[in-house]
Amino acid sequence: MEKDGLELEITELRLGLPGRDVADKMMKKRAFTEMIMTSSASNSDQCESGVVSSGGDVEKVNESPAAKSQVVGWPPVCSYRRKNSCKETSTTKVGLGYVKVSMDGVPYLRKMDLGSSQGYDDLAFALDTLFGLRGIGVALKDGDNCEYVTIYEDKDGDWMLAGDVPWGMFIESCKRLRIMKRSDATGFGLQPRGVDE
Amino acid sequence: MGWAFYNVPCSDTNTSLHPFSLAKGLVTSGRNTCTPYHSSTVKIPFVAILRTNLHQEMNYFPDEVIEHIFDSIASHRDRNSISLVSKSWHKIERCCRRRVFIGNCYAISPERLIGRFPCLKSLTLKGKPHFADFNLVPHEWGGFVHPWIDALARARVGLEELRLKRMVVSDESLELLSRSFANFKSLVLVSCEGFTTDGLASIAANCRHLRELDLQENEIDDHRGQWLNCFPDSCTTLTSLNFACLKGETNLSALERLVARSPSLKSLKVNRAVPLDALTRLMSCAPQLVDLGVGSYENEPDTESFAKLLAAIKKCTSLRSLSGFSEVAPLCLTAFYPICQNLTYLNLSYAAEIHGNHLVKFIQFCKRLQRLWILDSIGDKGLEVVASACKELQELRVFPSDLHDEEDNNAAVTEVGLVAISAGCRKLHSILYFCKQMTNAALITVAKNCPNFIRFRLCILEPNKPDHVTSQSLDEGFGAVVQACKGLRRLSVSGLLTDKVFLYIGMYAEQLEMLSIAFAGDTDKGMLYVLNGCKKLRKLEIRDSPFGNAALLADVDKYETMRSLWMSSCDVTLGGCKRLARDAPWLNVEIINENEDNGMERNEEDEREKVDRLYLYRTVVGTRNDAPSCVTIL
């Protein structure tokens, strides 16, 4: 691709990022080296390549996730978008288990921590408390007899009836909960029809 | 005397209206009317001549005729070229210039603007540098619009349209604006801040002929007042209303009444607080809408609401553009199926909660889509569906949905999605792509598939990440892009890059106007390749790259041909910046310090001290007087 005779030395494969003041640059580079190291648990090929390690002088890695957010303004997503579209860490962190719960007829969403419930019974009680009604919890246990059904959206985006799978599996895959009137539930969950409907 | 026509190439992309290209046009015989063609050519009635001195011949015509000819030339660059042809053309051009674009509000003063263009009707102003979007510029840096509005008001300019980007706007400014220009028609604010809904109330109340109020991604203090109520009943001329960025409650009945009395309304973008039933009513009384931004609908609608929504949507047969959806339950999205195939623009990039599957199910029906903004939750598989369904696609933006990389993000996109898009969407010319990883092979394939890129912005989320297959730098990949895409005007690079990529950019990117660099390069040579090679470069922004004084100072005159240069966390020193400021008095060289209190003390500091942030720009009006203490202008 190059024209002949031009700057052939830059075609040398270089390891690391040369041409910098070691002292000062090490400070700055450390932040992203740490970033790279802490994220390379699943990207082991980067560690091996040596290209991204700081000149062969790999410092002790700081394991804290705070290292990742040290780089201001990166990735370059504008602040409006950051505030309005990107997932907040608090709701998506594994283990915290906060999910949104909506109920038909109630205008505002609630959030609850699935992790604080031990099983479906607990969940039933928690839901009752959340909405200040009784009978929701019954839906989970009694199935056909009650006015409401409790459904949840799983990792694949499908809506499932709550209570069918083991609790452990449930809290791992549940992304949000909805309490729906049984009368509305029939027909729900059918694949949306195409344009001609 | 006969008449002939010169085909004048007037595109606002590449060729500018150089006086000699006027003269060298083809001569075609025929009609003696001057009709503006479409935006790219103008036929000029003309006495038959051979070659040069077109302007001298044209001066036999009265000024009004020449003005009429100039009126049909819309592009700013072409207008600027015309004004350079001769003194008389300069004079005529400036008196009939209606629209002015100022890319940097500190490059010129309002007084000089008005002095040159007294008949100004439309003004576009940009304030803060681009990296302000990423919190790299302090809030109080500047970009105040008030002096401009004040000067225009005092000079009684007949302002009709004001478009601002990254500027600081106050309620006082909006109030002054609303009271000073009787014929004011259009206000567009993008990424601005400093005002509240009280300012909007003034605009609504006082601008009798308002047609367009378009607020995009601004930080607005929402006082939850009644600004929508402030539109008088006599206001029936609205064509465009966008308040999607307002965070508070909206007076729904005021909004519905406003929409009902605005038969010309073509574009409506509401905020999150407009619920589904209100949206249904709005769409029912405005079936003529072309552009719709919806609110937030977390809950699935019940069957009756859904049916009503569907019915209203089916009537909106003119709808071509859909956005909003800050949170949307998947079923709501399906209500829009009836108009899918008409859509040319779809923006689902704020819909963080929608699972990729639902996105794909929707988009696959949008066969006429030209512009798509989406989140990376669509995944590579989803992009493959887009590639096979959306053959008319010209612009694609894929934003990251998860900035903290907390989840094991299967849904994020990789080079696979990009290659699929390039293979399926051959009309693609603009892309913004945030991804986890990239390879040279993929970039080379993309460049081969789509040589028509004019904007290519690739952001690999992890800085310095190499080709994940070969572990090499991505120099070759980006090199292939600049070599194949001869019309490339904007480029953002990322991943592991050495000086070599800049050699390629300097060599091949002949039309490049804007370049964004982060965590790239090895030595000053990298920056020098770009400065020496890219003749049309206007904006260069660099962060966290090892470029220093040698590159900065090598060709000081180059900065006169550019709008601005930004360098942050690079190797330039205070001494280097001072030297530049001395050698180039027509530049404003601004040092933005991290620590505001040290602003003044820094001058006595060691000149070998590295500068945290440098922003320099050409200007004809010298140092600005509104800089805050954290900014030192050398």
Per-residue pLDDT tens digits for B308-334: 999 999 999 999 999 988 776 677 888
Q: Which helix (H) or strand (E) holds B400?
A: none
Q: What is the pLDDT of residues A62-91, one digit of tens each?
A: 333 434 445 888 999 998 998 887 554 334
Q: What is the mean pLDDT of chain B?
A: 87
DSSP B351-374: -TTS-HHHHHHHHTT-TT--EEEE
Query: Hey, is the C-beta of A46 within 8 angstroms of any chain B C-beta?
Result: yes
Assess whether pLDDT exceeds 90 at residue B106.
Answer: yes
* The residue to which tokens 């209303």 are assigned: B241
Per-residue confidence (pLDDT) for residue A88, from 0 to 100: 47
Backbone torsion region of residue B590, taken as left when φ is above 0, otherwise alpha when ψ lies between -120 and 50, otherwise beta? beta
Assess whether pLDDT exceeds 80 at residue B630.
Answer: yes
Backbone torsion region of residue B633, taken as left when φ is above 0, otherwise alpha when ψ lies between -120 and 50, otherwise beta? beta
* Residues of chain B positioned with their CB less than 8 A from the CB of A11: 500
Q: B514 vs chain A: nearest CA distance in angstroms?
A: 16
Chain A, residues 145-164, CB within 8 A of chain B, namely: 153, 156-157
Q: How many CA atoms lie within 13 A of B256 on its CB side?
A: 14
Chain A: residue whose CA lies nearest to B397:
A77
CA distance A170 to A172: 5
Q: What is the pLDDT of residues B358-377, one digit of tens each?
A: 889 999 999 999 999 999 99
| Inter-residue contact B263 to B236 (CB < 8 Å) | yes
| Inter-residue contact B91 to B69 (CB < 8 Å) | no
Crossing angle of helices B379-389 and B356-363, in 10° steps, is 0
* Residues of chain A positioned with their CB less than 8 A from the CB of B571: 20-21
Contact at CB, A46 and B499, closer than 8 angstroms: no
> Where does the pLDDT of residue B94 fall: very low under 50, low under 70, confident under 90, or very high at 90 and above?
confident
CA distances from B315 to A197, B155, B275, B281, B301 (A): 14, 47, 19, 12, 19
Q: What is the pLDDT of residues B520-562, one digit of tens each?
A: 999 999 999 999 999 999 999 999 999 999 999 999 999 999 9
Size of interface A-B (CB pairs under 8 A): 177
Chain A: residue whose CA lies nearest to B493:
A76
ipTM of the complex: 0.82
**Of B2, B81, B60, B47, residue with least CA distance to B70:** B81
Among B104-113, B275-284, B367-376, B592-601, the minimum mean pLDDT is found in: B592-601
CA distance B44 to B577: 49
For the record, the structure tokens of B538 come out as: 């206007």
Among A188-197, B523-532, B611-620, the minimum mean pLDDT is found in: A188-197
Which one of A4, A14, A17, A44 would you mutate to disrupt binding with B, by most B Cβ within 10 Å of its Cβ?
A17
CA distance A57 to A40: 17
> Where does the pLDDT of residue A23 fall: very low under 50, low under 70, confident under 90, or very high at 90 and above?
very low
| Inter-residue contact A53 to A18 (CB < 8 Å) | no
Q: A130 vs chain B: nearest CA distance in angstroms?
A: 17
CA distance B46 to B67: 14
Q: How many CB atoms lie within 10 A of CB B379?
A: 23
Q: What is the mean pLDDT of chain A?
A: 61
CA distance B195 to B479: 44
> Where does the pLDDT of residue A45 fall: very low under 50, low under 70, confident under 90, or very high at 90 and above?
very low
Per-residue confidence (pLDDT) for residue B27, from 0 to 100: 29
Query: Hey, is the C-beta of A8 within 8 angstroms of any chain B C-beta?
Result: no
**Of B608, B546, B521, residue with least CA distance to A26:** B546
In one letter, which amino acid is B155?
A
* Residues of chain B positioned with their CB less than 8 A from the CB of A81: 217, 349-350, 399
- Nearest by CB: A102 against B299, B434, B523: B299
Among B266-270, B304-308, B407-411, the minimum mean pLDDT is found in: B407-411
Chain A: residue whose CA lies nearest to B374:
A85
CA distance B576 to B555: 13
Beta bridge partners of B219: B193
Backbone torsion region of residue A100, taken as left when φ is above 0, otherwise alpha when ψ lies between -120 and 50, otherwise beta? beta
* The residue to which tokens 């719709």 are assigned: B292
Among B46-50, B167-171, B177-181, B195-199, the minimum mean pLDDT is found in: B46-50
Contact at CB, B522 and A19, closer than 8 angstroms: yes
Radius of gyration of chain B (CA): 26
For the record, the structure tokens of B603 come out as: 């001058």
Contact at CB, B571 and A21, closer than 8 angstroms: yes
For the record, the structure tokens of B166 come out as: 């990254």
> Where does the pLDDT of residue B21 fall: very low under 50, low under 70, confident under 90, or very high at 90 and above?
very low
At residue B40's C-alpha, the angle toward residues B37 and B45, to 5°, is 45
Whether a cis peptide bond, with omega within 30° of 0, leads into A75 is yes
Per-residue confidence (pLDDT) for residue B478, from 0 to 100: 98
Q: How many CB atoms lie within 10 A of CB A105?
A: 11
CA distance A167 to B436: 33
* Residues of chain A positioned with their CB less than 8 A from the CB of B501: none
Query: Hey, is the C-beta of A59 within 8 angstroms of any chain B C-beta?
Result: no
Contact at CB, B543 and A73, closer than 8 angstroms: yes
CA distance A50 to A41: 15
Per-residue confidence (pLDDT) for residue B605, from 0 to 100: 64
Query: Hey, is the C-beta of A79 within 8 angstroms of any chain B C-beta?
Result: yes
pTM metric for this prediction: 0.75
* The residue to which tokens 């009798």 are assigned: B208
In one letter, which amino acid is B161?
E
Assess whether pLDDT exceeds 80 at residue A50.
Answer: no
Beta bridge partners of B42: B8, B36
Q: Which helix (H) or strand (E) holds B584?
A: none
Per-residue confidence (pLDDT) for residue A181, from 0 to 100: 78
Which one of A74, A93, A188 would you mutate to disrupt binding with B, by most B Cβ within 10 Å of its Cβ?
A74
CA distance B351 to B306: 19
- Mean pLDDT, residues B120-148 taken together: 95
> Where does the pLDDT of residue B17 fall: very low under 50, low under 70, confident under 90, or very high at 90 and above?
very low
Those residues whose C-beta lies under 8 Å from the C-beta of residue A191, and which sit 6 or more positions away, are: none
Per-residue confidence (pLDDT) for residue A145, from 0 to 100: 65
| Inter-residue contact B369 to B342 (CB < 8 Å) | no
- Mean pLDDT, residues B402-428 taken together: 83
Those residues whose C-beta lies under 8 Å from the C-beta of residue B560, and which sit 6 or more positions away, are: B584, B586, B587, B618
Per-residue confidence (pLDDT) for residue A5, from 0 to 100: 42
Distance between terminal CA atoms of chain A?
56
SS (H, E, C) chain A: CCCCCCCHHHHCCCCCCCCCCHHHHHHHHHHHHHHHHHHCCCCHHHHHHCCCCCCCCCCCCCCCHHHHHHCCCCCCCCHHHHHHCCCCHHHHCCCCCEEEEEECCCCCCEEEEHHHCCCHHHHHHHHHHHHCCCCHHHHHHHHHHCCEEEEEECCCCCEEECCCCCHHHHHHHCCEEEEEEHHHHCCCCCCCCCCCC
Q: Do β-strands B212-216 and B186-190 pair in parallel, antiparallel, or remain unpaired?
A: parallel
Stronger pLDDT, B448 or B226, i.e. the higher one: B448
For the record, the structure tokens of A163 come out as: 């209570």
- Nearest by CB: B434 against A39, A48, A75: A75
